[in-house]
Amino acid sequence: MKLKKLAVAMTAVMAFGAISVPAAAEEAQVIGISMPTQSLERWNRDGEYLKEQFENAGYTVELKYSDNDSSQQVSDIQNLLADNVDILIIAAVDGEALNTVMDEAAESEIPVIAYDRLIMNDATSYYVSFDNYTVGTLQGEFIVETLDLENAGDATYNMEITAGDPADNNAGYFYQGAMDVLQPYIDAGTLVVVSGQTGFDSVATDQWDTQTALERAQNILGSYYADGTQLDVWLCSNDSTALGVAQGITSDYAGDNTVIITGQDGDVANLANIVDGIQTMTVYKNVSNESIVTLALAEAVLNGETIDASLCDTFEIECAYDTESYETSDGNVCPSFLLVPSVITADNLEELVDTGLYEMGEDGYLTAVE
C-alpha cells in the first residue's frame, strides 16, 4: 500500500509538471492467498483454482502454503502484508492462532476473506465456505437411509466415529451436523458405538492426518472388534481421515467388507475407493465454484461496493448470503457466503464428470482434469 501511495504522489507531481501519465500505467492489484497445506489434496485444488480465477480477472496473485504449521502461516501472511497485497484470502491452519497478523492486517486496512475455514478474529471481513453443518447432516442422513434406521425395529448396528482437526473451526460443525442426526439412534440403542468413543475430543484427528486416523482405527479394531464383533459403519468427517480408516479396516478387520464409510471432498484416492466399494460416499464440495464466489466477493470489496445477498445474483452458483450462522467472537457475526454440498456415491459419479473437473478413465476410475 505504501508503495502505491508513493506512486500516486509521484503521479501528482508529474501531472503538476505537465507530463501526461497514461491511465493504463496503473498497477494490477495484488491478491495475497494463504492456504494451509499441500499435503491434503483439496487445498492444492483450491490454490490452483483461486490463482487461475484471479489471474484471469487481471490481478496479480501471491499464493503461499503453510505446511499445516500455524506459526509458518503467520509469517507467510506477514510476508504477504509486507509485499503490499490489497486483500488477503486465508484458509487458516488454526482459526484461533492468527490474532497478531489479523491485527496487523487491520492496521494496514487490508480486508481479509476467511476462505473455507473461519478465522476467530473480528478483523475477518467476510467468510466464503460451504454450509459446514449441512456437510455433517448429509453424512448422518446417508447412514440413516442406507441402514434404514427408521425401520430398524430391534436390529442394532455397530458404529465408530472419526472427526477432524480441533484447530479447524469447520470440524465441530461437521461432527455436530452428523451427530444431531445420529444421536437419537444412539440413544435408542439402534446404533452402538462399541468403543464408547463418541465425544468430539475423543474422536478428533489432529491436522486431518490420514496416518493418525489409520492408527486410531487400528487401535479400535484391535481392542473392540478382534473377537469377531461386526462393524457396520464408520462415520468419517472427510476423505483424508476416511482414507486412513479404510486402510485400517482393510488390514485389521476380519469381518465382511460391507462397512459403510463416509467422507467429504471428492479426493481422487477416495473416489477410487468408492468405485472399489471400500468407501461408501463422499460429500462433494465444488471448490472451483468456491473460488468463483471468492473472486466475485473480493472484486466487490476492492471496488468498495455494498456487500449483500445481491452478490449471489452475479454468479450462477447456488449460494446463500448468511448473516447469522458464523461468529468470529461472541455476538460478532461474520457475513458469509455459503455454497451447497452434495452427496456422491458409486451411483452418481457421473455428476463429478459433469462439473468438467474430473474425467472418467476407461478403467472406470476418476482423475482430476489438469
Binding site for ligand GAL (CB under 6 A): 40, 42, 116-117, 164, 168, 170, 208, 238, 240, 264-265, 285
Look up residue 256 and give its three cell numbers: 465382511
Of 156 and 325, nearer to ligand GAL (C-beta) is 325
Of the candidates 297, 298, 246, the residue with the CA atom closest to the CA atom of residue 267: 246
Between strands 327-329 and 332-333, the pairing is antiparallel
- For ligand GAL, the closer CB: 106 or 357: 357
Smallest separation (angstroms) from ligand GAL to the CB of 37 = 8
Report the nearest approach of ligand GAL to the CB of residue 362 (Å). Answer: 29
Question: Least distance in Å: CB of 36 to ligand GAL?
Answer: 7
Task: Give the residue with the Cβ less far from ligand GAL, 160 or 290.
Answer: 290
Which of 276, 180, 280, 275 has its CA nearest to residue 239? 280
Nearer to ligand GAL, 240 or 280 (CB): 240
Q: Do 37 and 66 form a contact (C-beta atoms < 8 A)? A: yes
Phi, psi of 259 (to 5 degrees): -70, 130
Q: Distance between CA 326 and CA 318 in Å, rounded?
A: 19
Smallest distance, Å, CB 220 to ligand GAL?
21
User: What is the nearest approach in angstroms of ligand GAL to the Cβ of residue 170?
Assistant: 4
Measured from the CB atom, the residue of 86 and 168 that comes closer to ligand GAL is: 168
CA atoms within 13 A on the CB side of 268: 16
Pull the grid cell for residue 239.
476423505
By C-beta, is 53 or 238 nearer to ligand GAL? 238
In angstroms, what is the minimal distance from the CB of 287 to ligand GAL? 8
The Cα 213–Cα 216 span in angstroms is 5
